[in-house]
Amino acid sequence: MKIEVAESLIYSYLKHVEGCRIVQTNWKTSGKWNITEYDTEDAEKLFDKFKQNPNFEDIFKQSSFSQLIKQAEIDVLGLNTTENSIFGIDVAFHEAGLNYSGIDETANRVMKKILRTIFIMQSYFKDFNKFNSYFVTPKISKALEEKVTQLIKEASDILDDETISIRLITNNDFFNTIVNPVIVETKNESDTCELFIRTVKLLNLDTQKDKKTLTNKEKETSSDSIAKTTEDGMKIGQFVQYHLTKAFEDNLISEEEIIRLQDKEYSKKELNQNFEVLRSSDKETTDEGGKNRYYTKSKFCGNYYLTSQWFEYHWIPFKKWLKKIEKEYQTR
């Protein structure tokens, strides 16, 4: 089977940067898999919303939802099991720049791939809490980038769901978000079975004195994209699960605090959460729309489920809360 270096790069990105423990290239469905109306309910509702919107009616044209699902194929699929998050990434490498048949047609094709990937993941991986669909390409024209960016903004308004992330990664963003972080994170990896990593290590054997090296600014840029999303190798969801468990084991969390964490207003005020941080295991873990909002495979602080809705903006409030309970413990 032919292996594309661009797909290998995305494979390494999902594995080493996004922390996906299961990654597959050229992911396709099996005709033996059975999905029910319950499985496709959320995805089909979204499909209808987009098809009825005048800004997206040309994208799907005469396509039906069932046709889109039957065409299910994703270049690289990654599962981050610690965050209960799934990534579907389509990648296109065109040396002259991405261009199918003009700006409008190319933008429509890109958006169709991004949205179709969301529909596919919601249908076949319904139990995941976060869905990320990216279209990655090293080079496109400024006009096309602006067109797709505008469509993504409009699509995000329609989605209106922070658990769904759609994104175009291209041009400088491609190197700052994908390439540089992969090189930084895999610098000390001894396993070179991944094509892109092996290629980088081969290039590092070059002893030419005049080869271009990263400037300090470029190094900082590549490191920043990682520092914003990880600490001690953990993303926000895993970081919260680990430190909440450790705080409870160290008796830092009082019984009174456990009660407060089950209060929606307190959770919002202290941790900027839209759901109770803790919910008793005998209560529902879904929201009004039927979406699961809690980690249900483990229990925290005794016999409670922890909300799974942790995002980048939760880093600061969660760390402040940790300092608060540590201070309260010292005065008890």
pLDDT averaged per 10 residues in sequence order, the chain, 332 residues? 77 92 93 87 92 86 82 92 94 77 89 95 93 94 93 94 94 91 80 74 61 48 49 88 95 95 96 95 87 90 94 94 92 81
Max Cα-Cα span within the chain: 69
The domain boundary residue, chosen from 227, 256, 280? 227
Q: Which residues contact 9 (CB under 8 A, 6 or more apart)?
A: 91, 178, 179, 182, 196
For residues 278 and 201, state if they share a domain. Answer: no
Amino acid at 159: L
For residues 180 and 249, state if they share a domain. Answer: no
CA 50 – CA 115 distance, rounded (Å): 9
Q: What is the pTM of this model?
A: 0.79
Residue of 292, 299, 327 whose CA lies nearest to 128: 292
Backbone φ and ψ of 184, nearest 5°: -65, -45
Q: Helices 236-249 & 315-331, crossing angle to 10 degrees?
A: 10
Q: pLDDT tens digit string along 81-121? A: 999 999 999 998 876 677 777 898 899 999 999 999 999 99
- State the burial class of residue 26 (Cβ atoms within 10 Å of its Cβ: 0-12, 13-18, 19+): middle
CA 32 – CA 305 distance, rounded (Å): 34
Task: Quote the pLDDT of residue 287.
Answer: 86
Task: Quote the pLDDT of residue 96.
Answer: 64
Between CA 128 and CA 271, with CA 134 as vertex, the angle to 5 degrees is 50
For residues 156 and 271, state if they share a domain. Answer: no
Q: What's the CATH number where 104 sits?
A: 3.40.91
Q: Which residues contact 29 (CB under 8 A, 6 or more apart)?
A: 72, 73, 120, 124
For residues 246 and 284, state if they share a domain. Answer: yes
For residues 278 and 153, state if they share a domain. Answer: no
CA distances from 77 to 20, 121, 150, 178, 190 (A): 9, 9, 25, 15, 24
For residues 217 and 241, state if they share a domain. Answer: no
- Number of structural domains the chain divides into: 2
Looking at the DSSP assignment, which residues form a beta bridge with residue 295?
306
The domain boundary residue, chosen from 170, 194, 227? 227
Residue of 209, 220, 46, 16 whose CA lies nearest to 133: 46
Q: Which long-range contacts (CB under 8 A, 24 or more apart) does 181-190 make?
A: 181/13, 181/17, 181/222, 181/225, 181/226, 182/9, 182/12, 182/13, 182/16, 182/17, 183/222, 184/222, 184/223, 184/226, 185/16, 185/17, 185/226, 186/12, 186/16, 189/16
Task: Quote the pLDDT of residue 35.
Answer: 86
Task: Quote the pLDDT of residue 67.
Answer: 82
For residues 294 and 274, state if they share a domain. Answer: yes
For residues 323 and 192, state if they share a domain. Answer: no
**In a 3-state reduction of DSSP, which class is residue 136?**
strand
Task: Quote the pLDDT of residue 191.
Answer: 65
Do residues 78 and 124 lie in contact, with contact meaning Cβ atoms separated by under 8 Å?
A: no
Do residues 310 and 287 lie in contact, with contact meaning Cβ atoms separated by under 8 Å?
A: no
For residues 320 and 209, state if they share a domain. Answer: no
For residues 78 and 145, state if they share a domain. Answer: yes
For residues 179 and 251, state if they share a domain. Answer: no
Task: Quote the pLDDT of residue 68.
Answer: 83
CA 128 – CA 276 distance, rounded (Å): 19
Amino acid at 241: Q
Q: Which domain holds residue 26?
A: 5-227
Backbone φ and ψ of 192, nearest 5°: -110, 30
For residues 163 and 276, state if they share a domain. Answer: no
The domain boundary residue, chosen from 194, 227, 260? 227
Q: pLDDT tens digit string along 150-172? A: 999 999 999 989 999 999 999 99
